[in-house]
Amino acid sequence: MRILITGGAGFLGAALANRLVGPAGGHTALVLDDLSAGDPKRLDPRVLFTRGDVKDVPKLWTMLQGVDCVYHLAARVRVPESIYYPGDYNDCNVGGTVALMEAVRDTGVKRVVFASSAALYGEQATQPISEGQRPNPNSPYGVSKLAAEYYVSTLGDLNGIETVSLRIFNAYGPGQDLPPSYPPVIPHLLRQALTGGSLVIFGEGHQTRDFVYVDDVVDALVAVATAREVNRAVINIGSGQETSIHDLAGRIARATDRKADVLYNRTQGRGVTRLVADVALAQRLLGWGPSTGLDRGLRLTLEHDPRFGGSSQTGLSR
């Protein structure tokens, strides 16, 4: 297959692109990324990289010629940042999605896979969360992902394009971004533990999340490109395991073999109370299930991420 990945130099996008062009894939992968958060050094030399904005429709027309499937991963993804810059998140995450769907319509691409987010669920009374539960986003980021889902599905329906949205929970693994502000929790705590610092947790640490290893997410993304009877489907991709942030800190201390003090920052928001995926639909429609437990995923992250003493940032376990 000939495949375009928007945002393909980012954490998940690069892992997907490298899998697609590798020995187990054998596909042609094109990547479009504006490098606001991505890094082309993550990409296998066989990946065809182009720097550009996902809202640049003429550039998309050129890149989409002969493409069989598009993975749309281009987005701004930091929840706290979205609260301060909702216009930017709407422009990129919603406007970029609409531009892409227009270009896909014009070039006759048959399938679009959209990387959505569990952030659109917000606070939910029932756990694990299934796809049929009503979204309740509590951030502009979550709102932007929900709006983009609707655009993908509606424009797909109007224009005869097959579409699938994967609601990805808390993905982690080697090469995950570690920005100076609003860093993801797992690489942030790993860095704190390895540098001898205290592990800082927001709130009381009782809040829970569903941490899913990058390889498992890529498995799901690869499976959905050719899956049958998934048109207009919305599918959770998570580990199905609920982990408190307090428990995560203990697991990180064991994985790094460091004795670290835990400090609780009760002045900062902790996000939603609970978040864990029901992955039964993914198992039924994609034949997919998570295979990497959290403890093993933490070890693999340490082994394959040079920032933590590992050997190769792009060296995933499969």
Cβ neighbours for 228, distance < 8 A, ≥ 6 positions apart: none
Task: Establish whether 141 is a catalytic residue.
Answer: yes
What CA–CA distances, in Å, run from 250 to 135, 187, 189, 256? Answer: 31, 14, 10, 10
Residue in 162, 191, 161 with CA at minimum distance from that of residue 176? 191
d(CA 185, CA 268): 14
Residue 58 CB neighbours (<10 A): 9
Total residue length of the chain = 318
Catalytic annotation, pick one of 141, 151, 172, 213:
141
Quick check: 50 and 63 in contact, CB under 8 A? yes
Which residues face 208 on adjacent strands?
A: 244
Region of residue 45 (left: phi > 0; alpha: psi -120 to 50; beta: else): alpha
Where in the sequence numbering do the catalytic residues fall?
141
